Amino acid sequence: MTLHTYLTMSKNQLLEFYDELNDSVLEETPTSQKRLFQKRESKKQVADARLFVRAQEISREFKFTYKAARFEEAWLLDSLVEIAEHQWISDVLRKVKGGKEASVYLCTPGVEVDAPLLAAKIYRPRMLRNLKNDSQYRTGREDLDENGNVIVDDGALHAMAKRTAFGEEVRHQSWIAYEFTTLETLHAVGADVPKPYAMEKNAILMDYIGDPSNPAPVLNAVNLDPDEAKSLYERVLCNIDLMLKHDRIHGDLSAYNILYWNGDITLIDFPQVVIPGSNPSSWTIFLRDVTRICQYFSAQGVDCDARDLATDLWTSHGHKIVKEVHPKYLDAEKQEDRRVWKKQN
């Protein structure tokens, strides 16, 4: 790539490039890759300079307690600047969890938000590329814009279908908007989810679960005594039932996406939420969610049968059990397979 290419990259492309380098620098570099690394390193300096300037501009205005690593600072500041400008947060105290797709930060609320502590979940630009299988979840879901409204604009829909850079940004935004609007819906009906406060570009602000020095552990890291296991299991089922009542399947439910704090549970991580009636894979996805929950609770001594349980919950909300067959197992030459295909689409 030439210098010109760098200077004409969109901000999102630049952030993504920068994000990539973050990992390549952090990982051990074998000798064979050193030359490639050096080449990248010099290119990086150009990108580095631009983002550094941007980070400097923002950090002049907002002084956060948390000192991000050099590579992280630019996208962190860029993601939070509007949230800070709206006075939803007044400070970033520390990183709660850094992941490949999103990082979560502990923040103190600004004057506009009434909460003890806040969690800001910031999606990394590369998250989009990991959405390879997102079509399974997107089927039957209308795409949402940055305000959580259904996208009707032909240009945006066309760009998404064509997978242009702009289209990919819209797709990314829609994924985040689903997490935010699902939290809004479920919180309003009393589900055990963090209260959401704001969504900006690639960040979501919600209640923080834990205390300032200890974020709540995920349920999977907790061993429960049998009585508590039984009552939390029932609590999870109530939440699954409530979600179905409001036309939502979590889609990635497991003891890794449930936080445990002071004897209570909180379900998190909703971007892949599925709308039951409109997705042909809903039953399979729902059964997988219930199965993972049963795996954890069985290990905690609770007696549960995932298939029976999933069947009861599913049919009690009027849904039919449809087992989707993957297209690779269907033969276009066979009439019966063509019928299955038609039914599935």
Ligand X SMILES: Nc1ncnc2c1ncn2[C@@H]1O[C@H](COP(=O)(O)OP(=O)(O)O)[C@@H](O)[C@H]1O
Binding of ligand X by 317 (CB under 6 A)? no
The whole-angstrom separation of Cα 91 and Cα 123 is 19
Q: Select from 79, 174, 257, 282 the one that contacts Mg ion (CB under 5 A).
A: 257
Total Cβ atoms within 10 A of residue 136: 16
Site string for Mg ion, 199-238 (x = CB under 5 A): ----------------------------------------
Q: What is the CA radius of gyration of the chain?
A: 22
Break the chain down into helix, strand, coil percent, rounded to 5: 55, 15, 30
Binding of Mg ion by 22 (CB under 5 A)? no
Among ligand X, Mg ion, none, what does residue 218 contact (CB within 5–8 Å per kind)? Answer: ligand X
Binding of ligand X by 218 (CB under 6 A)? yes
Q: Select from 157, 210, 298, 319 the one that contacts ligand X (CB under 6 A).
A: 210
Least gap, CB of 75 to ligand X (angstroms): 15
Among Mg ion, ligand X, none, what does residue 205 contact (CB within 5–8 Å per kind)? Answer: none
Least gap, CB of 120 to ligand X (angstroms): 9
| Residue ranges in 110-129 that form contacts with ligand X under rule CB under 6 A | 119, 121
Q: Select from 125, 269, 279, 294 the one that contacts Mg ion (CB under 5 A).
A: 269
Cβ neighbours for 295, distance < 8 A, ≥ 6 positions apart: 254, 255, 306
Among ligand X, Mg ion, none, what does residue 208 contact (CB within 5–8 Å per kind)? Answer: ligand X
Residue 112 φ then ψ, to 5°: -85, -10
Query: In terms of Cα–Cα distance, which of 186, 181, 197 is closest to 266?
Result: 186
Binding of ligand X by 209 (CB under 6 A)? yes
Binding of ligand X by 19 (CB under 6 A)? no
Least gap, CB of 124 to ligand X (angstroms): 9
Cβ neighbours for 311, distance < 8 A, ≥ 6 positions apart: 321
* Size, binding site for ligand X by CB under 6 A: 21
The whole-angstrom separation of Cα 266 and Cα 219 is 9
For residue 6, CA distances in Å to 17, 24, 45, 188 come to 10, 18, 10, 45
Binding of ligand X by 104 (CB under 6 A)? yes
User: Residue 25 is inside which H or E element, if any?
Assistant: helix 11-26
Q: Between 185 and 257, name the residue whose CB sits nearer to Mg ion.
A: 257
Stretch of 78-86, 94-102, 152-160, 333-341 contacting ligand X, by CB under 6 A: 94-102
Among ligand X, Mg ion, none, what does residue 97 contact (CB within 5–8 Å per kind)? Answer: ligand X
The whole-angstrom separation of Cα 239 and Cα 217 is 19
Among Mg ion, ligand X, none, what does residue 204 contact (CB within 5–8 Å per kind)? Answer: none
| Residue ranges in 256-275 that form contacts with ligand X under rule CB under 6 A | 257, 259, 268-269
Strand duo 203-207 + 118-123: pairing: antiparallel
In terms of phi and psi (left: phi > 0; alpha: psi -120 to 50; beta: otherwise), the region of 92 is beta
The whole-angstrom separation of Cα 273 and Cα 42 is 41
Among ligand X, Mg ion, none, what does residue 289 contact (CB within 5–8 Å per kind)? Answer: none
Residues that bind ligand X (CB under 6 A): 96-97, 99, 101-102, 104, 119, 121, 194, 206-210, 215-216, 218, 257, 259, 268-269
Residues that bind Mg ion (CB under 5 A): 257, 269
